[in-house]
A = this chain, B = another copy of it.
Amino acid sequence: MPLLVMKFGGTSVADLDRIKNAALKVQREVERGYDVIVIVSAMSGKTNELVGWVEATSPMFDAREYDAVVASGENVTAGLMALTLQEMGVPARSWQGWQVPINTTAQHSAARFVDIPRQNIDQKFAEGMRVAVVAGFQGIASDNRITTLGRGGSDTTAVAFAAAFGAERCDIYTDVDGVYTTDPRITSKARKLKKIAFEEMLELASLGAKVLQTRSVELALRYKVRLRVLSSFEETDENSGTLVCDEDEIMESKVVNGVAYSREEAKITLVTVEDRPGISAAIFAPLADAGVNVDMIVQNISERDYDDHPGAVTDMTFSCPVNQVARARKAMEDAKAAGHIAYDDLVVDTEVAKVSVVGIGMRSHAGVAALMFKALADENINIKVISTSEIKISVLIDRKYMELAVQALHDAFELDKP
């Protein structure tokens, strides 16, 4: 039988009524002829309650115990979902991570999949079970202890199961009805996309669109798992939501398909750095060691007068999340004190935001950057840093212009038009 993976997040299983509503969507797919693997999150609020207890008990908690406690939330939902389906006459049973088993690394609270053997679940499907309800977000390490996967773990579980079981599609039911050209809270012209390519979704996810976690999209891209994002709270059918798929499946794509933003960015400039081979490594290795997520990097000629420096010098600018600035500053000052790097000044701007346009079509179209810069210039928005990838152009601008920039770019690329 063809197989579907369906994932329901915390708000979609927040109480017994919502679990029932989700189960009805599962039942419909079973009636259409699918075997289904359902991945569930904890009922919303439950994970926070459990995490709160752990943190109150032990601020520097043992991550193995944290995982054992926190994973119980998903186990409860899995059992309740199986019971709800049984009550509707659908042959179903629940599976906890260790029962499948979902084998992961032993990096507790941030574990990664090792493998998901199909044997146990396949056997039950062969015996007539139509729905396997699997507790998301968790697994088991080789020492037989429970692991959790970290943020977005249930989405990642869903994609991993879809890959392991060769599912026709992986449907992610959530509290939004799809992926939009940009955040509808910023412009009412935002339009839901019928389809989006994996690579585009990956850029949008990593740029701050909250619909899907980067990790689950990466996994979907790697295993070519067709992902669909759709709403738990609306009537849905085969055409609902947004399909994240291979670009070959998308007949006609615009040059730009989305405008993303990231609000809480900071720009850090090391002024008058010695320009020598290895200087980048000397700067960015300590930042990585300090856990700073460096995003954009620009090496530019300083506007300062270099007369007092005998060798070649440069300025080095990078961006990172605002809440990592203190850590970044300390890493740089420590590296300077240790003599690994030298700079005259460290200038921080915490009032910046990142705005990006994303589109597969950029690969074959010139002029996207020019159009983007013109649209921003028309609004008198100054660009502080530019960075580009094959399918994305990002700029750092003053945070106060962020909404304006998103609206201007959405208009300039006519994203409101299908």
Asked if A68 CB lies within 8 Å of chain B CBs, one says yes
- Which residue from B61, B93, B144 sits with its C-beta under 8 Å from A64? B93
Judging by beta carbons under 8 Å apart, are B86 and A58 in contact? yes
A62 within 8 A of partner (CB): yes
Which of A72, A93, A144 is most buried by chain B, counting CB atoms within 10 A of its CB?
Answer: A72
Provided the pairs A58-B86, A86-B58, A145-B99 are in contact, do residues A65 and B79 lie with their beta carbons within 8 angstroms?
A: yes
In the assembled complex, which residues on chain B have CB atoms less than 8 Å from the CB atom of A68?
75, 78-79, 94, 96
Partner of A69, one of B61, B62, B76: B76
Which residues of chain B come closer than 8 Å to A86, judged between CB atoms?
58, 62, 65
Q: Are A93 and B65 in contact (CB under 8 A)?
A: yes
CB contact list, A65-90 vs B, under 8 A: 65-66, 68-69, 72, 75-76, 78-80, 82-84, 86-87
Most buried by B among A56, A76, A82, A99: A76
A186, CB-defined interface residue at 8 Å: no
Which residues does chain B contribute within 8 Å of A65, judged by CB atoms?
79-80, 82-83, 86, 93-94
Could you tell me which residues of chain A, from 29 to 86, have a CB within 8 Å of some CB in chain B?
50, 53-54, 56-58, 61-62, 64-66, 68-69, 72, 75-76, 78-80, 82-84, 86
- Residues of B near A87 (CB, < 8 A) are 57-58
Q: Is A98 an interface residue (CB 8 A)?
A: yes
Instruction: Decide: B54 and A80 in contact? CB cutoff 8 A.
Output: yes
- Is A176 among interface residues, defined by CB-CB distance under 8 A? no
Query: Which A101-157 residues have C-beta < 8 A from chain B?
Result: 120, 144-146
CB distance from A354 to the nearest CB of B (A): 39
Residues of B within 8 Å of A93, CB to CB, are 62, 64-65
Assess whether B72 is in contact with A58, with CB atoms less than 8 Å apart. Answer: no
- Docked Cα-Cα span, A195 to B144, in Å, equals 41
Cβ A83 vs Cβ B57 within 8 A = yes
The reply on A405 being an interface residue by CB < 8 A is: no
CB-CB < 8 A to A371: which residues of B? Answer: none
- Bound Cα distance A68, B81 (Å): 12
Q: How far is the CB of A286 from chain B (nearest CB, A)?
A: 32
Q: Of B54, B56, B84, B94, which is within 8 A of A79 by CB? A: B54
List 30 A–B pairs whose Cβ atoms lie within 8 Å, in order of A's numbering. Answer: A54-B80, A54-B83, A57-B80, A57-B83, A57-B84, A58-B84, A58-B86, A58-B87, A61-B83, A62-B82, A62-B83, A64-B93, A65-B80, A65-B82, A65-B83, A65-B86, A65-B93, A65-B94, A68-B94, A68-B96, A69-B75, A69-B76, A69-B79, A69-B80, A72-B72, A72-B75, A72-B76, A96-B146, A99-B145, A120-B144
Asked if A372 CB lies within 8 Å of chain B CBs, one says: no
Residues of B within 8 A of A145 (CB): 99
> With a CB–CB cut-off of 8 A, which chain B residues contact A78?
68
With an 8 A cutoff between CB atoms, is A19 at the interface?
yes
Q: A76-B72, A86-B62 are in contact. Are A56 and B96 (CB under 8 A)?
A: no
Q: Please give the distance in Å from A296's CB to the nearest CB on chain B.
A: 40
Residues of B near A99 (CB, < 8 A) are: 144-145
Is residue A16 contacting chain B, with contact meaning CB distance below 8 A? Answer: yes
A328 to chain B, nearest CB (A): 32
CB distance from A372 to the nearest CB of B (A): 50
The 5 closest A-B pairs by CB, nearest first: A69-B79, A72-B72, A58-B83, A68-B79, A58-B87
Question: Nearest-CB distance from A148 to chain B (Å)?
Answer: 12
Name the CB-closest residue of B to A50: B76
| Chain B nearest Cβ from A345, distance in angstroms | 44
Residues of B within 8 A of A56 (CB): 16
Given A68-B79, A96-B146, 6 further pairs, Cβ under 8 A: A53-B80, A57-B80, A62-B83, A65-B86, A66-B79, A69-B83
B16 with A57: CB separation less than 8 A = yes
Closest to A87 in B: B58
